[in-house]
Each structure stands twice: as C-alpha cells, then as structure tokens.
Chains A and B, each alone.
Chain A
Amino acid sequence: MKLYDYILSPSGYKVRLMAALIGVKLELRPVDFHPGLEHRSPELLSLNPAGSIPILEDGDLILTESSAILVYLAAKAAPKWLAGEKPEEAARVQQWLSFSGRLTASLGAARLHEMLLRPGDIAALQAQGMAALRELEAGLVEQRLRGMRFLAADRPTVADIACFPYVALAPDGGVLLDAYPTIRLWSRALRSLDGFIEMPGIHRLHELKPEPQIEPGEA
C-alpha cells in the first residue's frame, strides 16, 4: 500500500497513525505540498481530481479522503476499530467522522493561515475552531458519564483517529487547548496506545519512556 503523504499534514498523519496502531506497513510517497504545490500537479490530479492529500493506492484501488482510508485500513486489518453492531455506536462513529471535516475546515484552515500564510479570515476560523472544540469536549464529557473513554465506545475507533490530529495541533492555528480538560484526558488516552507514533507538533508521552540515565562524564 502506497500513501501519498506530507509530513506536516494532519490528514496524512491520521493514516500513518492508524496504520502504526494496527500494524499495517505503508510505503510512503512524500508529496511536496509546500512550497511545491505538488498535490496540484498533473500526476496527482490524475489520481485525485480534488487536488487533496492523502491518497492511498492499494493495487488497482485508489482512495482519497482520510476518513475513507481509515475505514479501509481498519476493515482490512483490525475491524474492532470500526463500529460494532450496536446502532448507537455505528451512528456515533459516523457522527464524529463527519464532524472531523469541520475540524479540518476550522482548526486546519487556521493552522494553514498561521503556518503557510494561506488566505482566510483568521478570527472567524479560530472562533469556528473553538466552537468545534467545545462540541467535542461536551461529547466526550457525555461519553465519560456513560463510562466510555472514547468518542463512540470504551475502545478507540476510526472516529477518534479522524478527530485527534487537528485537535492536538489546534495551537498551531492560535487556538489554545487549556480550557478542555476532557479533551486533554482523551488525548492522553490516545497517546498512551501501544504503537502510537508522533508527527511534528504532536509528541508522545515522555513519562511512558524509561528515564534516560546518563553517568557523570558521559554527557
């Protein structure tokens, strides 16, 4: 499986993270998103006329849209990351997959504005991002009251992976995360999962690694 990817893309990271968590090997094909705008080159537009990344190639299959790619990887290698049989759980997975698009359109656009100087009304994007974070916090509070640590169940699903990166990188777009204690707990739970990988701006939990011991004279 080949992933057309960009190291700073939160949507590319969703796919890399999902693959790492379920032990799927990906061949990474770096795309010069910035400054080269390679995602709008004839080669990539022929794969995805929408001109967006990530794109996943698996044999003859070409998939675009990160949520679809997450579902594909999970269905292939780890179906427990999809919704189970309960109607409510199935609906919640869909709800948060849809919601993740709003995170991209608000927090993601604010981040592109602040990091890559893309045009946009930054105050409006930040306000929309804050509204989305409040919705996520409220949703997670209610799940916690039901005894569940994740968005759709008491186990992580593709919905959590779809929402996590743009939330974790919100400060890149000037939107602070200090005011969301339940998002903080959820983020910790995701970063504690076996196989969790980092991307620039999202680090793993240092306390889970053994403390480095340096002897005097070694430093």
Chain B
Amino acid sequence: MLADTTGSWTPVALSADLPAGTVNPARIATESIALWRSDSGRVAASADRCPHRGMRLSHGFVRGEAISCIYHGWSYAQAGNCLRIPAHPGLVPPETIRVVTHAVEEADGVIWVAFGTPASIPPKLDGFVPLRSLTILAMTAQIEAAAGAVANSEGLIESGTIRLLLSTQHEGETLVHVLVKDDADVATRITASRTAENLRRTAEDLQGKGSVQ
C-alpha cells in the first residue's frame, strides 16, 4: 500500500457487512471514517467526527437518507451538509455546518473510499467474490511471507485458492478482505475462512519474531 493514497481507492469494507440503514467505523490510511448506507441503499463516507462536539459518527445511526450523531442528534446528508439540529427545531442549519466527506465506489461486493478524485475506477476482482474481512496485526511484508506471494500494485495477493485484498490501517495493523472463486460452494468457503485464520496466525507470529523486515 502506498503511503500517499490521495487520488487512489482503498477497500474499506465488504458490501455484505454494511446493510441498508446502518453505519460502521472504517479507516482510510490516515483517518477514521464513518461508512454508512442509507435506507435506499446509497453508501457514503464521512470523517468519523461530528463537527458539533467531536463524537464519533460511527456511533450514530441512520434514518432514511441521513446519518445522525448519537450525542445530540445532529443529522447529515450524504454530501455532508447538516440537515437538522433537534435542539433548534425551527432552524435551517447554515451551509457552513458540514462534515468532511470522501468519494465512495461500490463494485463486486467491495466498498472503496478515496481521498480527492481518483483518475481511475477501483480494480476488478475477475471471477472472485468477497468472503470476509479480518484484521491482521502485521504489516504487508509479514502477510506476504505468510501467503507465500507478493501483493501486486492493486494490493492483491494470490495465495492458493484464496485472494487477499490488503488495506493498511495503522502501523502494524492490516485489514484483509478474503476473496474466493465466485462458484465456490459452502464447504469450500468455510475452508477458505479457516485458511485465512491460519494465515493470520502465521503472519502475526512472523510480526512478533520480527523475522521479516
């Protein structure tokens, strides 16, 4: 993963993990975001901080096409503008009250978020579908060593029957989306999930030993 992700896409979550009417915490390289899906199914990403009192918006809730802060109920549209301040029911919130938002793309069951305006569209998964996401307390190098393969320029590792889509979270922490062939049956998918758990153990052991630089 490049240190400067301005203008490029980060795979932040799987579509199946963000049902309509919910909000999840997520990360793009340098900051926490609130990733939410409106009741009508539209995905949005904003800074994970309510401009009012700084509460994490990912602790909030989604009603209709807006996200609301859990603290005082200020609600925001997808574009980040404040729609409503419950303590001032007669007030139309001024345009200056907004939460920072980021570009979102959803493709092949993966939700991608970018800083700025990327020139390209997110990479295709080519016959693979997302299985699950898991967090590995290791860096890309340790995960590559555990997988026996190197990530390509899109952050994708091919390891046996599974593919791994990597997204660096903090120093020493990587979000990994596990992909399987789109025709894999249930038993194969369960095996793939366990394979990913084994890979995590190996990568974290390597990280602990510091044997891969």
Q: A207's contact among B63, B134, B135, by CB below 8 Å, is which? A: B63
Q: B190's contact among A145, A179, A205, A206, by CB below 8 Å, is which? A: A145
What distance in Å separates the Cβ of B53 from its nearest Cβ neighbour in chain A?
17
B206 at the interface (CB under 8 A from A): no
B45 at the interface (CB under 8 A from A): no
Q: A219's contact among B22, B61, B89, B175, by CB below 8 Å, is which? A: B89
Q: Identify which of residues 1-16 in chain B touch chain A, using a CB-to-CB cut-off of 8 Å.
A: 13-14
B193 touches A146 (CB 8 A): no
Q: How large is the interface on B (under 10, 10 to 19, 20 to 34, 35 or more residues)?
A: 20 to 34
- What residues on A are CB-neighbors of B186 within 8 Å? 145-146
Q: A179's contact among B62, B88, B135, B193, by CB below 8 Å, is which? A: B135
A217 at the interface (CB under 8 A from B): yes
- What residues on B are CB-neighbors of A215 within 8 Å? 89
What distance in Å separates the Cβ of A15 from its nearest Cβ neighbour in chain B?
27
A207 touches B132 (CB 8 A): no
- What residues on B are CB-neighbors of A155 within 8 Å? none
A85 at the interface (CB under 8 A from B): no
Q: Which of A134, A179, A184, A214 has the most CB of B within 10 A?
A: A179
A142 at the interface (CB under 8 A from B): yes
Q: Identify which of residues 175-219 in chain A touch chain B, using a CB-to-CB cut-off of 8 Å.
A: 178-179, 181-182, 184-185, 188, 205-207, 211-212, 214-219
Bound-complex Cα distance A161 to B14 (A): 27
Q: Identify which of residues 164-208 in chain B touch chain A, using a CB-to-CB cut-off of 8 Å.
A: 175, 186, 189-190, 193-194, 197
A182 touches B17 (CB 8 A): yes
What distance in Å separates the Cβ of B153 from its nearest Cβ neighbour in chain A?
26
Q: B61's contact among A142, A179, A206, by CB below 8 Å, is which? A: A206
B132 touches A219 (CB 8 A): no
User: 1/0 contact trace for B59-91 toward A, CB 8 Å?
Assistant: 001110000101000000000000000111110
B19 at the interface (CB under 8 A from A): yes
8 other A-B residue contacts (CB within 8 Å) besides A134-B134, A181-B133:
A137-B134, A138-B197, A145-B186, A181-B13, A182-B17, A185-B17, A215-B89, A219-B88
Give me 9 A-to-B residue pairs in the complex whose CB atoms sit less than 8 angstroms apart, sorted by A's number. Answer: A137-B134, A138-B193, A145-B190, A182-B132, A206-B70, A211-B63, A214-B86, A215-B89, A216-B90
Which A residues fall within an 8 A CB radius of B?
134, 137-138, 141-142, 145-146, 178-179, 181-182, 184-185, 188, 205-207, 211-212, 214-219
User: Lowest 3 CB-CB distances: which A-B pairs, in order?
Assistant: A216-B90, A181-B17, A179-B135
